[in-house]
């Protein structure tokens, strides 16, 4: 296919493809590149009365995303190409502190 658009558009698109490929190695399952979204959605579905559209809800989702990624790395025995178990565990600690601040009215 002949590229008829701006050359920088294709360069930026290639950068996004490379970023997606790199980061997706940290989040995917062995056979599903979208597994992380499905796993977190399944967790959210366990709490149908929870209002996720709040600062607290968003903070919990961010923490769950990091916990899920950590579990996935451990399950697959994969060190991580962007972040690792240690960095994700630290993120979880930060998100739960932010939740505590928000819950106290911060």
Q: Which tens digits make up the pLDDT trace of 3-18? A: 889 999 999 999 999 9
Q: What are the residue ranges spanned by the domains of the chain?
A: 7-103
Look at residue 78 in the predicted model and tell me its pLDDT.
86
Query: Which spans in 1-106 are helix H?
Result: 7-27, 35-45, 55-76, 85-103
Quote the pLDDT of residue 58.
96
Q: Is residue 85 very low, low, confident or very high in pLDDT (cuts 50, 70, 90)?
A: very high
Taking the model in full, what pTM does it have?
Answer: 0.77
């Amino acid at each position: 296919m002949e590229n008829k658009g701006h050359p920088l558009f294709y360069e930026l698109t290639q950068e996004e493809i490379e970023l997606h490929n790199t980061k997706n190695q940290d989040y995917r399952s062995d056979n599903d590149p979208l597994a992380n979204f499905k796993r977190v959605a399944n967790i959210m579905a366990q709490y149908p009365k929870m209002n996720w559209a709040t600062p607290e809800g968003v903070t919990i989702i961010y923490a769950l995303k990091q916990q899920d990624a950590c579990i996935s790395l451990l399950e697959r025995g994969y060190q991580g190409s962007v972040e690792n178990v240690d960095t994700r565990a630290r993120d979880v600690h930060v998100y739960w502190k932010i939740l505590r601040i928000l819950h106290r009215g911060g």
